Amino acid sequence: MLFAAFAFSLMGVGVKLASEIYATGEIVFYRSLIGVVIMWTVLASSGTSVRTPHMAMHIKRSLFGVTALLLWFTSITMLPLATAMTLNYMSPVWIALILGAGAALTGTGGADRKLIGAILMSFGGVICLLQPSVGHNQLTGGLIGLISGMFTALAYVEVRQLGQLGEPEGRIVFYFSAVGMVVGLAWMLYTGPSTHTWRGAGLLLAIGILATLGQTAMTRAYKRGNTLLTANLQYAGIVFSSLWGMIVWRDQLNWLSWVGMALIIASGIATTLTRAREGSNRQPTADTPVKSAEAEVHPEV
């Protein structure tokens, strides 16, 4: 997840630079097209078919993810960047709520309270770091940004479920890219394509490669790791993005921003060490059955 956050932060730099040349639909299309080509090649070289018995779940996960992406880009055009980023980074909070509600409805107990607390701590750090604000004329944009975070959370939960069904990461990323390519193409045809330049083409290529690397790493993280821990480590992306802002655009951070960054880092380190310690204390023996993936999501099971 840390590598995914790093790749996505670099991709964000590329998107911000490419937005001066291309419309949102074009960026989504080319990002997704490159992802389809890369993942098709990877799957073919490993002998893995793109055919799947879980097509409906792939389509649902992909639609959630593409909708979240489009809503987030839209909110960026309507809100200050800090506010749009904060609302989109509410996705780990939504994940905690979704898992908690699911556990309550099924009677399997609640999710890990320590990790939920860590997520809320990290989100507090995000607020300190970005210091968002929403004016009375920005409520629509704020609602769109809030919903984008919700769809992001739903997409990540679907990724976890696909992983539990044994779907390979490459196939999950392939279908997400394919759906994004179709949606981006429709948008691009509606708004009209832009003229390419060498700089623009280079940015689109970098965005596509970084997005594919980030999606693959993120998918593997949610597929194999603890859902809430992975969601909490996602906040590292906001730290990386802030550092890129300082390096590339000479952004200045005040003391409250540095406090927020420290909270995010401390929360990520603490929860990672806690999970590692708990894992070492629960090493299975010959007489101890290995927990299922569902039990990992809900430790009380």
The per-residue pLDDT for range 118-164, each reduced to its tens digit, is 778 888 887 887 777 666 677 788 788 888 888 988 898 898 889 88
How much is the pLDDT for 186?
A: 94
Helix (H) or strand (E) holding 48, with range, is none
pTM of the predicted model as reported, rounded to 2 decimal places: 0.78
Residues of the chain with pLDDT under 70: 80-83, 102-104, 107-112, 133-136, 275-301
The two tokens of residue 137 are 């004329």
Q: Is 138 helix (H, G, I), strand (E, B) or coil?
A: helix
CB atoms closer than 10 angstroms to residue 250: 7
CB atoms closer than 10 angstroms to residue 174: 25
The two tokens of residue 141 are 């944009």
Domain count, the chain: 1
Ordered DSSP codes for 129-141: HH-----GGGHHH
Enclosing domain of residue 116: 2-279+288-297
Q: Count the helices and strands in the chain (H runs, E runs).
A: 13, 0
How much is the pLDDT for 180?
A: 94
**Please, which residues have CB within 8 angstroms of residue 211's CB and are 6 or more apart in sequence?**
7, 8, 11, 31, 34, 35
